[in-house]
Structure 1
Amino acid sequence: MERQITSFIRALRASDVRVSTGEAIDATRAVSVAGYSDRAFLKDALRCTLAKSPEEAVTFDELFDAYFAPRSLNSSSQDQDNQNSEQSDASSEIDPVDLMESGDEAAIASALERAANAVDADDIRFSTQIAYYAQQMVREMGGERIQERLMQAFQQRSEEGDTEAERLIDLRRDLTMRARERVQRSYDIFGKGETEQFRNEFAENKKLSAIELSDMARMKVLVARIAKRLAVKHSRRRRKKNRGQLDVRRTMRANAGVDGVPFNVVWRQKRREKPKIVVICDVSGSVARYVRFLLLLLWSMKDVVPDLHAFAFSNKLVDVDDILEKNKFEDAMDQILRVAGMGSTDYGEAWTNLKSGHEQLIDRRTTIIVLGDGRSNHGNPRTDLFRSFAARAKRTIWLNPEPQPAWGTGDSEIPRYRPYCSSMSQVSTLKDLERAVDDVLSAYA
């Protein structure tokens, strides 16, 4: 029983359902009470202990129906272990032809299960491995003996031999298809989730400049997960603990009315600032693709960063808060690119527009995030204005899509802006954007 539950929990974890060690122990105890006789009751008992959200409940239901097939609940784990131990030595002596011709579905299913366990079919990770594991199962069940009899039938060179060969071919095809179905079930339970995780990890580390239209649906899901992960991390309230520097004045005042009985100690607590972010995005050329993901990530975290202001420019700076608030994100990005993305890049003009119309947004609580390559077509970069913004702000973060060897080459003004930035880093993947936003929000902890 414990092995079945442990294996099922492994399948849940592979499908991105979080199950802690304590929850796994609770699930084992729940099954010991519920038993396997009532499938609906077993499902409810496990769902209560393992699924913690509506999304996880959906995944749980799909995996439960696939893993706990009605046939597997007809006997207990102990009966299955006894059956396996008794038949494991004899499995090699079973003639696969006699087994398949017997029509005994229970015996065939048991033989398939033993073969699947022998070749570790539950370790499958990718759909491309289905054929391999199926072949290994057929071999484990005596496929070579079928092949030998098939060769003997061909060598007879007679009508009876041809009939026997056709019969053996059909039998081997049937056995192979059953083995594939069994491996497909293992893949649906154990491999599909791990494959999805592998694809997600690959997408998170794929260069954003190489993202294709077919990848956008997956990328939106990944951005939403990252936003949720960061929101949970940075929205936790810090618990007050009796540690830090003693506040003598407040301690004396707190105990004056009771003559120090009891004596209450007051510690100085560092006040946590609320995040305030001003993000300024260069939407010219190839940089626009990176802007799409940064704004999507930040706008997915509005609950954590309600004081968020976004600007876009190629030369003239445009306030895009209203566009993002009033439109669906994809429509908003198309509109932003039309309004702010048409023109020759001019960082100097963008800083001038920020100075004249929006400088009041920048204060000691503000983190300025600049996303751009710093290429200003040899115009005046107005580093004097950028220096003044950085001096007013809490931090100034510059995210550059270009690799560092390209900084300062051609019309790049990055070396002139770099001294006034708290940090300047390359962002080329979704993981890079996550680290950058995490670093910004961590500064307010």
Structure 2
Amino acid sequence: MTAPSEVPGTAEHGLPGHLVDFVSALRRHHVAVGPGETVDAAQVLGALDLLEREHLREGLAAALLRRSGQRDTFDALFDLWFPPALGAGASEVDVPRVDDGEGGPGEGPVDVDALREILAELLRDGDEETLRELSRAAVDAIGNSGAAGQGVRGQMAKPNWSAYQALNALSPDTLLAQILDGLRQQGDSDFVSEVRRREIRDRIARFRDMIRDEVRRRTAEQRGREQVARSTTPKQPDRVDFLSANAVQLAELRRTVHPLARRLASRLSVRRKRANRGQLDLRRTLRRSMSTGGVPMDPAYRTRRPGRPELVVLCDVSGSVAGFSHFTLLLVQALREQFSKVRVFAFVERTDEVTHLFEPGAELSGVMQRVLREARLTAFDGHSDYGGAFGDFLEHYSEALTPKTSLLMLGDGRTNYRDPNLGALQRMRDRARHAHWLNPEPERMWGSGDSAARRYGEVLPMHECRTAAQLADVVEALLPV
């Protein structure tokens, strides 16, 4: 690891100023760090050997992080603010080069074939530290190979740090068969062969990550770590947009459902505790004041009898918003004890009840596939038809809405230019005690194209819920007290 005095940005304000900059970067990426945590981190810096980089990483993480899901963001920023090396760094791995007779020793083009042989040997032996040094040396050599010519006005061209270029040249995935052939021994069982195959694949995956981390570090030195942090730091799961999330991010979101539900339930408990007093009971207060000469020293309040309302969820499960609907339904299922009764209805062109798929104890893995497979949702072309779905709901399930019911609509309001059927939505709103619409699209897009969100928003309150964080805030505000 670099010495403390050599860390970029520490010269002017020293290590304390550098720590403050690091904490500020965490806050800019929505990691809540307060003054107390910052003081704890400063004590960690004073207690640990700064040359033991992994110890420093774990110490700062323990001092600064308070919630799950923040570690990936922390690690990405830590690698930028506390890099393992500066520039090319010091490495015991010599990159083989082709002697073309034009430059001195170590200045010719990279001998990619020889470099791949070294990589194959390290992947076979599992030498993690030397693999990391090789990734650093390879990125430096391949990146500088494009800067050997003259740039503008006779100046040397800037190095091109590219993970794609380095990985394309080394092609570590193509070495798997070669490494396994070298390791194969007579009489090896299929189990031993499969274990070796998985070990090599894991090492190749780690090497690819090493290349990407090294390119990110060198790019940050060239362009500035703040700029690189803005474009490459992974978002926390609750900050990922539902509509742009990939399969891995959606899976990570689903793992945050129960912790999020526990936080919402605890907040609701606090709200109920603060609101446990009803309105002032004037008659009882005056009776109590007779013992104090008419001074109302001990006010009396009417006892509150909070009831748990019924909840009806009507959700669009078409491809555009299926991820958002799935996450929200999982959250509702985790919070169902806050309601006396929960009924779930799904729609695309038509509406069907799917409450049984979300009952307590039901298997929720692959539940959306079951909804699409088992429910009666389509009639013509399989595209969303909000107006038709609303009419179908009133025709077959209107009894689900009562003066005790809270109605929750989930969808983007894109009708594919079909009749939005505002009258049906108004009748649904009038039958329910409360009605709200959660929309995963940015508010700036409401009403654009085939979106009827603005018109629906005139009938019942519509809330932007692009991320799990926004959804949690809205659901917390709407939960019964």
Q: So what's the TM-score if we normalise by structure 1?
A: 0.51
Whether 1:277 aligns to 2:311 is yes
List alignment gaps of at least 5 residues for structure 1. 73-99, 101-129, 139-143, 148-178
AA of the residue aligned to 1:334? Q
Of residues 355, 358, 361, the one that matches 1:321 is: 355
Q: Give the equivalent residue in structure 1 for 2:299.
A: 265
Q: Give the equivalent residue in structure 2 for 1:76.
A: none
Q: CA deviation at 1:279?
A: 1.6
Q: CA deviation at 1:55?
A: 4.8
**Match runs of 1:125-164 below 5 Å:** none
Deviation string for 1:68-123 (max 9, x for gaps)? 57999xxxxxxxxxxxxxxxxxxxxxxxxxxx9xxxxxxxxxxxxxxxxxxxxxxx
Deviation string for 1:271-314 (max 9, x for gaps)? 7665653122355xxx4422441232242353345434311235
Whether 1:297 aligns to 2:311 is no
**Match runs of 1:176-191 below 5 Å:** 183=218
CA gap of 1:272–1:65, structure 2 versus 1, over 3 A, is farther
Contact preservation (8 Å) 2:285, 2:298: yes
List alignment gaps of at least 5 residues for structure 2. 1-14, 87-105, 107-138, 148-152, 157-213
Whether 1:22 aligns to 2:36 is yes
Percent identical:
22
What is the SS of the residue equivalent to 1:311?
strand
Contact preservation (8 Å) 1:255, 1:264: yes
Whether 1:343 aligns to 2:383 is no
Contact preservation (8 Å) 1:280, 1:312: yes
**Match runs of 1:90-109 below 5 Å:** none
Q: CA deviation at 1:59?
A: 6.4
Of residues 13, 16, 40, the one that matches 1:2 is: 16
CA distance in 2, matches of 1:374, 1:181: 43
CA distance in 2, matches of 1:368, 1:324: 16
AA of the residue aligned to 1:396? A
CA distance in 1, matches of 2:78, 2:448: 52
**Match runs of 1:116-131 below 5 Å:** none
Greater fraction helix: 1
AA of the residue aligned to 2:35? T
Number of equivalences: 326
CA distance in 1, matches of 2:334, 2:454: 33
Contact preservation (8 Å) 2:23, 2:38: yes
Of residues 407, 412, 416, the one that matches 1:367 is: 407
AA of the residue aligned to 2:345? F
CA gap of 1:322–1:22, structure 2 versus 1, over 3 A, is same
CA distance in 2, matches of 1:437, 1:6: 30
Deviation string for 1:103-153 (max 9, x for gaps)? xxxxxxxxxxxxxxxxxxxxxxxxxxx99xx99xx9xxxxx9996xxxxxx
CA distance in 2, matches of 1:38, 1:55: 27
Q: CA deviation at 1:52?
A: 2.4
CA distance in 2, matches of 1:181, 1:377: 48
Q: CA deviation at 1:9?
A: 2.7
What is the SS of the residue equivalent to 1:289?
coil
Q: Give the equivalent residue in structure 2 for 1:312.
A: 346
CA distance in 1, matches of 2:315, 2:344: 8
AA of the residue aligned to 2:460? S
Contact preservation (8 Å) 2:278, 2:301: yes
AA of the residue aligned to 1:4? H
Whether 1:404 aligns to 2:447 is yes
Q: CA deviation at 1:7?
A: 3.6
Of residues 346, 354, 377, the one that matches 2:397 is: 354
Whether 1:422 aligns to 2:460 is yes
CA distance in 2, matches of 1:25, 1:288: 47
Query: RCO higher in 1 or 2 (8 Å CA, sep ≥ 6)?
Result: 1
Contact preservation (8 Å) 2:447, 2:453: no
Q: CA deviation at 1:257?
A: 7.9
What is the SS of the residue equivalent to 2:371?
helix
Q: So what's the TM-score if we normalise by structure 2?
A: 0.48
Q: Give the equivalent residue in structure 2 for 1:215.
A: 246
